[in-house]
Amino acid sequence: MKVLFCKAFVLFTFFTLHTVHSQQVQLQDSIKNRPEYRATELPQDFDIDGNVINDPIWQTVPAIENLIQLRPNYGQAVSEKTVIRMAYTNTTFYVSVICYDKDAKNIVVSDSRRDADLNDEDSFLFIIDTYNDRQNGFLFGTNAQGMEYDAQIDNEGKGSFNTNRQQGGVIGGTNLNWDATWKVRSQLGEYGWSAEFAIPFRSLRFAAGKDKTWGLNFRRNISKNTETAYWTSLPLGFDMKRLSLAGKLTGLNLRNPGNLKLIPYALTQVVNNSAVSPSETDTNFELGADIKYSVTPSLTLDLTYNTDFAQVEVDDQQVNLDRFNLFFPEKRAFFLENAGQFSVGSPGEVDLFFSRRIGIGDNGDLVPIIGGARLSGKVGQTNVGFLSMFTDDVDEAGIDQNNFSVARVNHDFQGTRSSLGGIFINRAGLGSMEDDYNRVYAMDGTWGIGNKAEVTGFVAKSTTPGIEDKDHAFKFLGNYNWNGWDLRAGYTEVGAGFNPEVGFLQRTAFKKPEFLILKAHRVKNMGNLLEIRPHVSYRGYWNFDDELITGFLHVDNHWEFKSGFEIHTGINFTTERVLESFNISDVTVPIGEYKNEELQFVLITNANNAFSMNLRTIIGGYFNGDRITNSGTANYRIGDRFNSSLTFSHSDIQLETGNLTALVGGLRLSYSFTPRMFVQSLIQRNNVSSITAVNARFGWLQNANTGLFVVFNIVKDDDDLDALNNQIFTVKYTHRFDILN
């Protein structure tokens, strides 16, 4: 298998190198043919109310109307008239849209909460590449109720090969937790709906100067047709995050807007740990602050003191049914801003920097963060980032004070989709222990071959006292992605001594080849069937004795219908070699080599409906026995204010050494009084660890994730209340002062 893989990878690399010249010519042609729009400069700011049709200011601004469908009728004009305009002043960037709709009474608004998914309702989004580097940008959107959606896009939104391991935070280069200060207003009418955006320049990152050009694209979602349409025509399989194919916004005369924000918070917290002392409660009061200062319009300094994350939603519970590490994503806002700047490695598998190591101990202990600083942004075409954080000691957990530092440089080569960078990560213990440190050095890069192919990779080394051998890691991945074809081949290696203490390793000491062959094909004259996506993928993990530890061959086809209904039908061929016995709960998996097959079935209903489901079933062999796993999510909403989702994972495992039933369930409920005022809860139950957890939150947002938060957490062990039974009630208020406004 390894010989065949190596031959395939060599052939794939030769193919991409052989076509580099023609791809570069096509790339230059695509740049020349990108649609352009010249922004209108206005003499002064104005109030927005969502009423675009009757606004005389907008009537003086040229309009864009030529959107093109990606689905369901690829390449055809958008089915409903759409009128978009853009303008700016010295301080603010403005966008307006009129979404005409012949069936305005049935416009779908599914969720009013900030950053709720806009894909499954009538909505409008736009992306701006403010550096015009064709890689990074800012995404904004809204629906007919004027909800606020914003995200930071890094590396064209590309994620890892195993993005299914990530549950939240930064996924696939899309940072939904980036929250800027801006506003949007919308209006419903017989014509359809309209919206106006007002985004202060101080909320963006850009290069000042005369006659600047930004990358630009728009997307409109029309629910009744499950339709998506874009300003720039895109090949199958792409979306507006593909900034190398975006249009151009020209004629921008940009000044340094000045940006200095002070963001203090006050917090009071009541803690009752009944397992320790049922009759006593502790009351805590905390003060802290963040400062945000734009050194230049493209370079930002963030300072934080007594950093707190009490308002962050708790982690989704997981059950480990294997012998490798589980991945829990970062959800804390401070670490998520510009997170893509510090991301090097293979997310969810080999993360060289994983910010959850800061402030969270190995056993889940909360470690107080004293404070720190972050400098991030762009100098010319070079991305720069520096982060330094100090954490306090925790005597009962045996944790000393530490400093965590990260330095990152990454240069984008203009117009080539290529980059080259390096990163240095350091943990230094500040206690009495000698040689208490860990360091990681790495280089990474991307070679863009035209618009259709690229080669990416990294090489890393760690330094840890007492470890001097095999402390390396590297990965190389080549891919071709165009007109429905997605071809990938890669190789990853992690030495036994590689030890990124401020990173994440799913498993240690492995050599991993992988490949994917996928073709998305739009069918014709097949009734309601829209697209099929047959594909095959493989990943194998070998140890350094050339023994296959895990092998996974996946053969599948996705059947997508015009209504949004999907089914996936696949078969998996698995190999697991267990060199040391381990336990899944109380069931032992003995030493041995296990080869199995399993059937996989996925069903996805139309998410535009008030009730929708996403279900997955796996039936087949598992180690020395069998398993049936059913998992998924059921969503139900009432109007645009009440949303609920029930997630579950049920595994019935029958091995020769014993049986196990693992059930993890979670119920999310949310109600939005307004787009900025909400109450939501997450109730979770895990039968393997017998833990029940409740997280209830009330939020009254002012702007950019500041405001009043009231949070109530309950965590208890149903089998042993003496071991775990605590309740925490928190009230936190955060306010943002724009000092240079």
Residue 531 lies in a domain: no
Cis peptide before 72 (omega within 30 of 0): yes
Q: Which of 103, 110, 140 has its CA nearest to residue 125? A: 140
Residue 159 lies in a domain: yes
The DSSP 8-state label assigned to residue 360 in this structure reads B
Interatomic CA distance for residues 389 and 307, integer angstroms: 10
Regions of the chain short of the pLDDT cut 50: 1-31, 160-171
pTM to 2 decimals? Answer: 0.86
Residue 177 lies in a domain: yes
What's the domain range around 92? 37-254
Residue 225 lies in a domain: yes
Q: Which of 375, 350, 312 has its CA nearest to residue 169? A: 312
- pLDDT of 436 reads 93
Interatomic CA distance for residues 235 and 128, integer angstroms: 19
Domain count, the chain: 1
Residue 142 lies in a domain: yes
Token pair belonging to 153: 């896009």
Interatomic CA distance for residues 185 and 222, integer angstroms: 19
Q: What is the rounded end-to-end Cα distance, in angstroms, of the chain?
A: 62
Cis peptide before 465 (omega within 30 of 0): no
Residue 674 lies in a domain: no
Interatomic CA distance for residues 70 and 50, integer angstroms: 27
The DSSP 8-state label assigned to residue 467 in this structure reads B
Contact predicate 451/245, CB 8 Å: yes
Residue 138 lies in a domain: yes
Interatomic CA distance for residues 132 and 126, integer angstroms: 15
Q: Which of 183, 160, 129, 162 has its CA nearest to residue 676? A: 183
CB atoms within 10 A of CB 14: 10
Interatomic CA distance for residues 488 and 456, integer angstroms: 11
Tell me which residue has tokens 């990530």: 166
- pLDDT of 219 reads 97
CB atoms within 10 A of CB 329: 18
Interatomic CA distance for residues 564 and 560, integer angstroms: 7
CA 225, distance to chain mean position in Å, is: 27
- pLDDT of 275 reads 61
Q: Identify the CATH number of the domain in which residue 114 sits.
A: 2.60.40.1190
- pLDDT of 31 reads 46
Tell me the per-residue pLDDT of 146-175, one tens digit each, with 9 for 90 and over.
999 998 888 888 754 333 333 334 445 787
Interatomic CA distance for residues 336 and 170, integer angstroms: 7
Residue 551 lies in a domain: no
